[in-house]
Amino acid sequence: MALFSSPPPAAQLGWRWPHFTATELSCSCRKHCKGEYFHDPRFLDALEAMRRDVDPLIIRSGHRCRAHNTAVGGVQNSYHAKAIAADIAVTNKDRARILQAAVNAGFTGLGYGRSFFHVDLGPARAWTYPGALGLWVRALGFDPMRNPLKPQKQQA
């Protein structure tokens, strides 16, 4: 794991994640930093597994520098600042696939937003953002806060 002031070249990182770039996962603010990037292979392995199950997978927010995290209202100990979190764009039609892919990939922090789904590798927990739970319940056909999904075995 390493922190970079801006996304380094893939060759410098020994990049093995074909569906992602360091730039895509770096801090997007460009106000408080120059695209700060934190490299965590375990997190990238989980994202890569998730993207194999759901394509396209659009990352709305990956790593955030501390100042940007504060500016967007992120919590003080945000996993975005620790670089093991991402917010993924969702629509009603792909919520079920994205949720199952995240659980299968080993993500343990699950945040249910209106237009995004937060995943992280922090302690096992789940939460909803204002106005989002009903969208998820309608799309999934069940309440994920009361009935969390279990990983499914992958087909060979």
Q: Give the separation between CA 39 and CA 106, rounded to whole angstroms.
A: 18
CA atoms of 20 and 48, how far apart (whole Å): 8
Closest of 64, 23, 51, 40 to residue 121, by C-alpha = 40
CA–CA gap between residue 73 and residue 139 (Å, rounded): 27
**Is position 112 within any domain?**
yes
Residue 126 within any structural domain of the chain: yes
Residue 110 lies in a domain: yes
pLDDT at 154: 61
Write down the pLDDT at residue 74: 82
pLDDT of residue 155: 53
Residue 148 lies in a domain: no
Which domain does 123 fall in, by range? 41-140
Per-residue pLDDT of the chain (156 residues; tens, 9 = 90+): 677 778 877 778 888 888 888 888 888 888 998 888 887 889 999 999 999 889 889 999 988 988 898 898 888 888 888 778 999 999 888 999 999 999 999 999 999 999 999 999 999 999 999 999 999 999 999 999 999 888 887 655
Residue 77 is part of a domain; what is its CATH number? 3.30.1380.10
Q: What is the pLDDT of residue 132?
A: 97
Confirm whether 49 is domain-assigned.
Answer: yes
| 22/27 Cα distance (integer angstroms) | 10
What is the number of domains present in the chain? 1
Tokens of 107: 């993500």
Residue 57 resides in a domain:
yes
Residue 78 covered by a domain? yes
